[in-house]
Structure 1
């Protein structure tokens, strides 16, 4: 049970961050392309998988800070408990509290006033400072022999965790939006590398894109229309999403077709 209580909350928080990051990234990317993210029909698993590679390093950094902080705090707790350097530990903890608190205050003001692109890691740093200051407060109390009730410890821990969680979601939002917009912009350069797609339909699809060519390859009795000049973006939510040759964010159309028997799609290099 102790293992579950120790591991459960961090795993739950990480999973929530991964899901939220995946959604926020996909939403920003879709909006840059003139779409709504709901059109793609992504599942929760899709969002999590799309977020792992981008959010891996920030999460690893936060976990390293937490592990180092917890290990150091436990070691100093043991020294203070044994009466070895309690006064020095209390003074050191006070210095960390003062420096960390001032640093967090300055950083918080900077995050509110700076443009979004320049604060990509700021909320994560602020969350780390809150964690370190909270650990230093606990350590100073222990070194000075200040006893706190169980209810007070629960309240303090809940407030710290809530603040850190809000900061992590703040940082995740900014980070995800920047990554999503960057991915959308990259499509302008990567359109020529996407798979060619030829769409066949018995009825005219009326794709009003200058670079997409409509050709009737059937007969008068059995018409069959072929549309070329398309590039496959993704297949998701029961739909095909195509870009076209020469597609740009400012002057481009995303062609969306159903993934059913009404159309046939051929792909090539």
Structure 2
């Protein structure tokens, strides 16, 4: 398929592959981080996460989609090689009658469902994870593959009557007592029209845009689901997590449920205020993001405390939680 090869060369000349991949990783990492912290009611943009942070986070959200896409691509290549072997063995008439219409019909239905999901947010596919974009991507790929497969085949009459074979329904030979009629010259088949190069490039460009946007849509949905799932898993580990004890020179006014404030009145204490029952989520941009150990989506609040010399954090592992609640300073 020279069209797709020409488009691939043109795309590689216009868009740098490294920059393109880096941009995608950054986008998916940003998407996952946004939904992760949004579960706790925190705007991720105020955490000061950098490009490296988003690139590292994106690995978590893209691992499964990349594995599935690679496996699907490998299966498609193997299936194409198997089909070519069947065609070389003389299975073209059967393929024309069954495979091409079947692939075209399935691709049309999937693409139609995907387009409908784009136009109507209430379509039932939108309620399932990545179902709508995957239907659109697979449908467009099947339609494009069916069209290219049909173009690569000879006309139907050439397939039904291969050159060099006799037909059982041919006219009987002329009897000896009758003069032989002169052969009727065969009408040459008109040459097939040659597609313009710009038409092939435009076709593959549209296919690439539709499939690429659909895969980005699917990966974005998956990244959002991974972000929310990681947040829910983190909350489930709070009862057995390491507790963060915040010591401060002055009162921080924390009144979250499950957080205990202890005030040490001794003059020798550099940090007289002590807060227990917290879990550190992340330290970023010189600030701490902490959650109460009893945090729930209905009653919990997120705390963002600046990282300064007036605040100190201590960590108590789960096995040593018995030391908490004491008033020692």
Identify the match of residue 192 of structure 1 among 215, 225, 239.
239
Give 1:151's aligned residue.
198
Identify the match of residue 251 of structure 1 among 280, 286, 299.
299
Give the whole-Å Cα distance in 1 for the aligned partners of 2:142 and 2:51: 32
Q: Does 1:62 align with 2:110?
A: no
TM-score, L = length of structure 2? 0.68
Identify the match of residue 227 of structure 2 among 158, 180, 188.
180
Q: Structure 1 residue 232: deviation in Å?
A: 1.2
Q: Structure 1 residue 162: deviation in Å?
A: 0.6
Greater C-alpha radius of gyration:
2
Equivalent pair of 2:287/2:305 in contact (CA under 8 Å): yes
* SS in structure 2 at match of 1:143: coil
TM-score, L = length of structure 1? 0.81
Equivalent pair of 2:110/2:138 in contact (CA under 8 Å): no
* SS in structure 2 at match of 1:261: coil
How many pairs are equivalent?
266
Equivalent pair of 1:216/1:223 in contact (CA under 8 Å): no
**Mean Cα deviation higher: 237-246 or 109-118:** 109-118
Q: Structure 1 residue 115: deviation in Å?
A: 6.5
Cα distance per residue 1:122-146 (max 9 Å; x no partner)? 4224312322321221222122466
Give the whole-Å Cα distance in 1 for the aligned partners of 2:20 and 2:143: 21
Give the whole-Å Cα distance in 2 for the aligned partners of 1:16 and 1:253: 33
1:1-269 to structure 2, matched below 5 A, reads: 5=12, 15-70=22-77, 72-73=79-80, 92-109=99-116, 112=120, 113-114=123-124, 116-144=126-154, 147-217=194-264, 219-220=266-267, 223-224=270-271, 225-269=273-317
Give the whole-Å Cα distance in 1 for the aligned partners of 2:137 and 2:235: 36
Give the whole-Å Cα distance in 2 for the aligned partners of 1:186 and 1:267: 21
**Mean Cα deviation higher: 86-95 or 158-167:** 86-95
Structure with greater helix percent:
1
Give the whole-Å Cα distance in 1 for the aligned partners of 2:93 and 2:150: 9
Equivalent pair of 2:257/2:294 in contact (CA under 8 Å): no
Equivalent pair of 1:76/1:89 in contact (CA under 8 Å): no
Equivalent pair of 2:290/2:302 in contact (CA under 8 Å): yes
Give the whole-Å Cα distance in 1 for the aligned partners of 2:238 and 2:249: 27
Equivalent pair of 2:134/2:215 in contact (CA under 8 Å): yes
Q: CA RMSD in A?
A: 3.5
Equivalent pair of 1:120/1:174 in contact (CA under 8 Å): yes
